[in-house]
């Protein structure tokens, strides 16, 4: 379970992106998936990838409030 906790934000981003894209596709007219729906899906996927590649560390030079100043 500890290994899974590293990816919980990414999993949540992928799930939300999938649900949002599926909602847009299902709510549209019953036809083939349109270009705008593909663009929405690609944007949601790009956002999920952005969540994956962004580190959870604070930016350099910013003090971490969870770390004691005394070391």
pLDDT tens string 22-65: 888 888 888 888 888 889 889 998 998 888 888 776 666 666 66
Q: What is the C-alpha separation between 25 and 28, in angstroms, rounded?
A: 5
pTM (predicted TM-score): 0.63
Query: 15-33 burial by CB neighbour count: b if 16+ within 10 A, else e?
Result: eebeeebeebeeeeeeeee
């Amino acid at each position: 379970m500890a290994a899974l906790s590293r990816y919980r934000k990414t999993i949540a981003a992928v799930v939300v992106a999938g649900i949002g894209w599926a909602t847009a596709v299902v709510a549209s007219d019953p036809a083939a998936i349109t270009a705008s729906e593909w663009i929405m899906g690609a944007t949601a996927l790009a956002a999920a990838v952005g969540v994956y590649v962004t580190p959870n560390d604070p930016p350099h030079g910013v003090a971490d409030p969870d770390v004691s100043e005394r070391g």
